[in-house]
Chain A
């Protein structure tokens, strides 16, 4: 057979390729305020061209970490490298980094053009070049018709675009975005998410975004780091984090999850046999590491991976339990079912509403059977 027919080896993503140097390196960075650890010994490597998200609820330290990268805060301990250069202690105006502020921070006394030109004027570039680059940046964010307007004459979405143009026009090596879409309404936010990703891919600039919205992080990022109480809990691609949550916190913070607790009964090949007291049932969950019998274990089951049938003639058994529908949340595309199992424990399941209302699926108080495949559950580390 012709070797040429064989598909080329898939290109490795930079974070999988040991030969690629990280572009941003955060080494054991700690930031304390009094005795509060806002950021606690965080290490992170971000690669060139990534759209990286720092995800977490408010007060988890994600913004402090971003502000340390921008230079507005100095780490109490640890080092920051950008493109191989140690920038710890370098003031913001000397970093090859620009930031898009949550409040946009547009200068109210300058019109749109002057706002965008501000950073270039600091570099003392020739006037013609400034004019061309400002025009190109405004064109990129489709704000070229608004150059003479003052910020207070623009809508929130337009201000957001100007803020983006102002940060991008300096051609930073790294663009930091602090909740860039937080002030926009839902429709505009969804639209802007894709636009932002398009711009990032077009320019190839590395983006680091802070957000508390897990959907936003998952839609936009190449990889994300989930933070909690100043620590990074897990780093990975959105799909990896969603499908393989490391801890109970991640399983519950990113998407919805049924977290079931039990004890290990034994290991069979790559499967773990678990007894779950809450469900009074045996579970069989895929897990590549053998565990000691008797060890406590927690399992995450995503609602969309729990299958539900109206048949009740099936015997309860491994990964198969009986219950009755307690609550139904109708969301249009899907419905979320809260099913009360025999042991009293509620389990969430999700149905796609493929049929229209004539055939609505199980209703309240109806007896149902829940079941799932061993590969659909994940054993949590903590």
Chain B
């Protein structure tokens, strides 16, 4: 016979063990959720802090300076806020710097010229970079790695040195002119250095990897059988390219173009070293306002307006990236 009292005791123990186990599971769940929440917040916190510290704070400082007046002092600008009398905070916002940018045609033409040079250079970078990216994407696996390495290789040398090297190539008795003279193609050296042409060459050369890499990454994902399908349906290879490959590579084209265009607008080193005295670019003006004229408020105003100019292409870039990510996600499903 079983002892009738044994069962409840046994059950009681079971219930206690069960409760303890359940509590353990519940607590570990709670902890787990807390941990993932903390993890997620940490992940978002780092870039947020980074942007606050290194982008938003400096931008606000520049914006503040742009509303100040230039003075011969240390620092070379007035404070925009100061206490006058009792409990009276005076805020003096000087908009003259922005008005100056509108009134003096120098600035407007420099802005337009920068955009023109950046746009033309982006187109040329695309024209040079697209075939390169396509070639790399079509290459065999081992060759592909080597070619990608070659694209990135120039980064191992200082940007400044590479731009200086172009002076040696483009100047009147430089490599290129000497080569053309020896070949008898020209009678007199071509004045290539200190011209818009030299600036284009410099930008195309320096920013080429930023064009090639995003293009390559979209092109390499395109299924080779799509080209075969297009040819099977009656397309010659060139028209198959325009109707299938090119449209599918558009996210890469926008990404690459924006990655070249945005920094090229504010480029200072290349126009300063390779450009002529009349090739006005806003980066150069900014530099001379800061360091030659020591007019920090005007220089800051130039920087703020330049940022506003660049917001539009930046938004386009962001959109194209999101779209590409979205399509990737759908493709994987």
Contacts and interface: CB of A to CB of B under 8 A. Distances in A.
**Which of B223, B234, B330: most chain A Cβ within 10 A?**
B234
B247 A118 contact: no
Interface string A84-104: 000000011100011101010
Nearest to A118: B233
B223 A93 contact: no
B248 interface: yes
Interface stretch (A105-113, A218-226, A351-359): A105-113
B236 interface: yes
B229 A101 contact: yes
Interface in A105-134: 105-109, 118-119, 122-123
B223 A166 contact: no
B231 A93 contact: yes
A77 interface: no
Contacts of A99: 228-229, 232
Nearest to B244: A107
Given A108-B248, A152-B330, A152-B331, A70 B234 contact: no
A107 B235 contact: no
A364 interface: no
Contact of A109 (B223, B228, B247): B247
Given A107-B244, A108-B248, A109-B248, A122 B233 contact: yes
Interface in A162-188: 166-167, 170
A166 B233 CA distance: 8
A106 B129 CA distance: 27
Nearest to B222: A108
Contact of B231 (A92, A166, A170): A92
Nearest to A109: B247
**Which of A99, A101, A103, A105: most chain B Cβ within 10 A?**
A105
B230 interface: yes
A93 B236 contact: yes
Given A93-B236, A152-B330, A152-B331, A105 B231 contact: no
B226 interface: yes
Contact of B228 (A105, A106, A152, A167): A105
Interface in A310-364: none
Chain A's interface size range is 20 to 34
Nearest to B247: A109
A102 to B, nearest CB: 8
Contacts of A70: 228, 232
Interface in B212-242: 223, 225-226, 228-236, 239
B236 to A, nearest CB: 6
Contacts of B236: 93
A72 interface: yes
Given A152-B330, A152-B331, A105 B226 contact: yes
A235 B181 CA distance: 71
Contacts of B232: 70-72, 92-93, 97-99, 167
Chain B's interface size range is 20 to 34
Nearest to B234: A122
Contact of B225 (A97, A105, A119): A105
B73 to A, nearest CB: 60
Contacts of B330: 152
Interface string A57-94: 00000000000001110000000000000000001110
B256 to A, nearest CB: 18
Interface string B189-231: 0000000000000000000000000000000000101101111
Contacts of B333: 152
A98 B233 contact: yes
**Which of B223, B236, B330: most chain A Cβ within 10 A?**
B223
B248 A105 contact: no
B324 to A, nearest CB: 12
**Which of A103, A106, A108, A166: most chain B Cβ within 10 A?**
A108
A170 B228 contact: no
A107 B231 CA distance: 12
Contacts of B225: 101, 103, 105
Nearest to B225: A105
**Which of B226, B231, B327: most chain A Cβ within 10 A?**
B231
Contacts of B226: 105, 107
A119 B240 CA distance: 11
A134 to B, nearest CB: 13
Given A107-B244, A109-B247, A109-B248, A93 B228 contact: no
Nearest to B236: A93
Given A72-B228, A101-B225, A170 B248 contact: no
Contact of A92 (B228, B247, B331): B228
Contact of A119 (B233, B239, B247, B331): B233
Nearest to B248: A109
Contact of B234 (A72, A103, A108, A170): A170
Contacts of B243: 118
Contacts of A71: 231-232
Nearest to A99: B232
Interface in A262-308: none
A152 B223 CA distance: 14
A227 B310 CA distance: 62
B240 to A, nearest CB: 8
B229 A107 contact: yes
Contacts of B247: 109
Given A91-B231, A93-B234, A98-B233, 6 more contacts: A92-B232, A93-B232, A103-B225, A109-B247, A118-B243, A122-B235
Task: Return the 8 tightest CB-CB contacts between A and B, nearest first.
Answer: A119-B233, A122-B234, A105-B229, A105-B225, A92-B231, A99-B232, A93-B231, A93-B234
22 contacts: A72-B228, A92-B231, A93-B236, A97-B232, A98-B233, A99-B229, A99-B232, A101-B225, A103-B223, A105-B225, A105-B228, A108-B248, A109-B247, A118-B230, A118-B243, A119-B233, A119-B234, A122-B235, A152-B330, A152-B333, A166-B233, A167-B232
